Structure 1
Amino acid sequence: MRLFLLKQRAGMVLSVVLTGIALTWVCNASVAAEPQPETVRETHGDWAIRCSAARPGDCYMVQLGYDAAGNPMAEFSLVRFGEGRQAAAGATIIVPLGTALPEGLALSVDGGEVRHYIFDVCTPAGCAANIALPDAQVAALKRGARANIAFVPIASPDRTVSVSISLSGFTKAYEALR
């Protein structure tokens, strides 16, 4: 009988803990979903540096990528990490809803090595891949002229959408994030 009560109590505790975690996640997600006011602090080439209006030191660099018809098809944003971390920077690439998630996202610089990433989340704003960029990848972006983002639309699984991102001003924008 004592073992039964211990198991029942452990089950109730686990249920309460999981419910608390779920509520925390839902509350944090709703707070994160609220758009926060931002300002463009400066631009470098084709890159803008945006900062939180509430915390001016909380900044990231960003650029939109367009298709041939001028429609925005990707957003490439990047934050710089402090020294001594495994990754030098973190990037978030957002593409439109209706993207074939299992196909993931491909990123290359100047036609070089293609790296594949998975999508982490989709929101009404689009589907996002969060990427940790080591020093070597940041260096490739600094040296490059163009980055290419490729993904597959779910409505046309035999077609790949490629979006070109200019790297003009990338190095200056990256250095300005210090």
Structure 2
Amino acid sequence: SIICDTPAGATSEQCVMMQNVVAEDRPEMGLSVVVLRTADNKAEILRVLAPLGVLLPNGLGLNVDGKDIGRAYFVRCFQDGCYAEVILEKPLLDTLKSGTSATFIVFQTPEEGIGIPVDLKGFAEGFAALP
């Protein structure tokens, strides 16, 4: 879904594309996946909010249609969880637009990754609708 709001201290509205997902076998392990355009319209950012308690050094893994895309590192934690962010460069953006399903992987121990599926259907249309 697309959500628009004017952040505190901002002069203009900011819109984000957002999807909340939960691991099928771990209902307490949910992610908020957000795509936003920076206020200066110079970049797009993929921001993922993971729950407190995830292992931070391992970062957040991403697979699209079974292919390993890489890892994003957690940049900060607040009371609502920990955030990982990456700039959406064209190759990653194209992969997300053309993909059918993504899996974000969070770790609770160095050996145990938890895959959380994200449906990419509608991603390209949603991204195109971001103002």
TM-score of Structure 1 vs Structure 2, range by shorter chain: 0.7 to 0.9
Q: What is the TM-score with the length of structure 1 in the denominator?
A: 0.64
More helix by share: 1
Q: What is the TM-score with the length of structure 2 in the denominator?
A: 0.85
Q: Given residue 101 of structure 2, which amino acid in structure 1 is its aligned partner?
A: R
Alpha-carbon distance between aligned partners in 2 of 1:69 and 1:81, rounded to the nearest angstrom: 35
What secondary structure does 1:114 align onto? strand
Query: Which of 1 and 2 has higher RCO (CA within 8 Å, sep 6+)?
Result: 2
Counterparts of residues 5-20 of structure 1 (less than 5 Å): none
Q: Given residue 99 of structure 1, which amino acid in structure 2 is its aligned partner?
A: V
Q: Kindly indicate whether the alpha-carbon contact (under 8 Å) linking 1:80 and 1:174 is maintained by their aligned counterparts in 2.
A: no
Q: How far does residue 53 in structure 1 lie from its aligned partner after superposition?
A: 5.7
In structure 2, the residue matched to 1:39 is: none
After superposition, what is the alpha-carbon deviation per residue over 1:79-136, rounded to whole angstroms, capped at 9, x for unaligned? 1359994x5x201111110011111111121111331111000111111101101011
| Corresponding position: 1:170 with 2:123 | yes
CA RMSD of aligned residues (A): 2.3
Count of residues in Structure 1 that have an aligned counterpart in Structure 2 = 127
More strand by share: 2
What secondary structure does 2:68 align onto? coil
What secondary structure does 1:136 align onto? helix
Higher radius of gyration, 1 or 2? 1
In structure 1, the residue matched to 2:60 is: 105
Gaps spanning 5+ residues in structure 2: where?
none
Q: Given residue 123 of structure 2, which amino acid in structure 1 is its aligned partner?
A: F
